[in-house]
Amino acid sequence: MRDPANAEFALLLTHDIDRPYKTYQSLYYALTGGGNATRAHHLSTLRPDSNPYWQFPAIRSLESSLGVRSAFYALSEQRLFRDRPPREWLSKDGWMRYAGRYRLSDPRIRQLLRELDAGGWEVGLHGSFESYRRPELLQQEKEAVEDVLDAPVTGCRQHHLNLDPPDTWRYQRALGLQYDASLGSSDTYGFQHGYGVKRPFDDEFVVFPLTIMEQALPDPGTDFERAWAACLDVLDEAADAGAVMSVLWHPRTFSEREFPGHARLYERLVKAALDCGAWVGAPATFYEEAGLSDPTVDW
C-alpha cells in the first residue's frame, strides 16, 4: 500500500451491511428499477436454500487479489414490532426501514465481523435510522458492535446518510469516534462537498464526504460503459485535485445475478485508482497513515 504522502489522491472503500439476508425486499427490487425493465429475476432466487445477498466471501477474495482492504459498517436497527409504534406496522416506510433486519446477536453475523476484523478489514458502526439525532441510541449501537469485536470502533456512517450537522458529528465525537462518512447523496455522485476531509470542530474528528454510492450511477447492468465513464470522470477529477474520495458499494450488489455489472464496475474502479497512483483502502487506515489525528494535517 502506498504512503499517503506519496499518493496522487486517496480512494476510500466502504460497504454498508444493510441486508445480508434476502427476504421480502426482493419484491421491491423486482417491481422497481427506475428507467429499467422490471427485474423479475430478483424473485427467482427467493428460496429457503438461496441467499444471494451474502457476498462477503466474494468481496474479501476480490479485495485480497487487488491488495486492498475496505470498511464494513455494521447496523443494529430497531425492530418493527418491538420498538416502533403500531401506526408504522403496516406502513411502507416502517417495513422498508425496520423489518427483516439482521441482529448482531446472530452467530453468523458475529463470526463474519470477527473474521473481517482479523483479516485486516475495518469494521465500523452503521448508525440506525434514528440514531443521528439520538445520542443515547448511537452509544448503545456502538457498544453492541464493540461487544462483538471486543475492540473499539473508530468510524461511522449513518443509515440512509441521515445527518443533523453539526449535532450528529458532535454526538459521534463525544462517543470517541474519529470520523464520520455520512455526508453525501444516494441520488447524485461527484465532489459535492469539496476535495478534502472536513474538520467541523477544528480538532482530530474528521468527515469523509461520500463521493459515489453505486445506486447513483448509471446502471452497469444495462449500460456498463456509461457507468464506467461516470466513474472515470470522478477518478480523473480526483487525480487532478489530489482529492480524498470515498465510494460505497452495498454487499448485496456483488451478486451478479441480482445486480449485474456492479462487482465488475467496482473492480475496474479500484484497479484504475491503483494504476493512477492512488492510496486505496479503508477510512480508518487512511486516518492513521495520513496522520489525521493532528488537526494541522491538511488533506
Give the span between the Cα atoms of 272 and 149, in whole angstroms. 33
What is the model's pLDDT at position 38? 42
Inter-residue long-range contacts of 112-117, CB under 8 Å, 24+ positions, other chains counted: 112/20, 112/56, 113/72, 113/74, 113/145, 113/148, 113/149, 114/148, 114/149, 116/56, 116/60, 116/72, 117/149, 117/151
Q: Which residues pair with 212 in a beta bridge?
A: 247
- Give residue 102's pLDDT: 84
8-41: b or e for each residue (b if 16 or more CB lie within 10 Å)?
ebbbbbbbbbbbbebeebbeebbeeeeeeeebee
Q: What is the pLDDT of residue 24?
A: 61
* DSSP code for 289: H
H or E element at residue 228? helix 224-241
With CA atoms as reference, report the closest residue to 200 among 178, 222, 231, 225: 178
Angle (deg, nearest 10), helices 56-66 and 262-275? 20
CB within 8 A of 213, min separation 6: which ones?
A: 184, 185, 186, 189, 247, 248
90: DSSP letter: T
Residue 105: partners with Cβ closer than 8 Å, 6 or more residues away: none
Q: What is the model's pLDDT at position 206?
A: 98
Which three cell numbers, joined as nine digits, stand for 82? Answer: 418491538
Fold of 4-289: TIM Barrel (3.20.20)
Of 238, 230, 252, 276, the closest CA to residue 100 belongs to 252
Q: What is the pTM of this model?
A: 0.88
- Averaged in consecutive runs of 10 residues, what is the pLDDT profile of the chain (299 residues)? 84 95 62 45 52 96 98 79 53 54 91 98 96 97 97 97 98 98 97 97 98 98 98 98 98 96 98 97 98 95
| pLDDT for residue 152 | 97
* Alpha-carbon gap, residue 11 to 232, rounded angstroms: 13
Residue 251 CA to residue 249 CA, distance in Å, equals 6
- Domain residue limits, the chain: 4-289
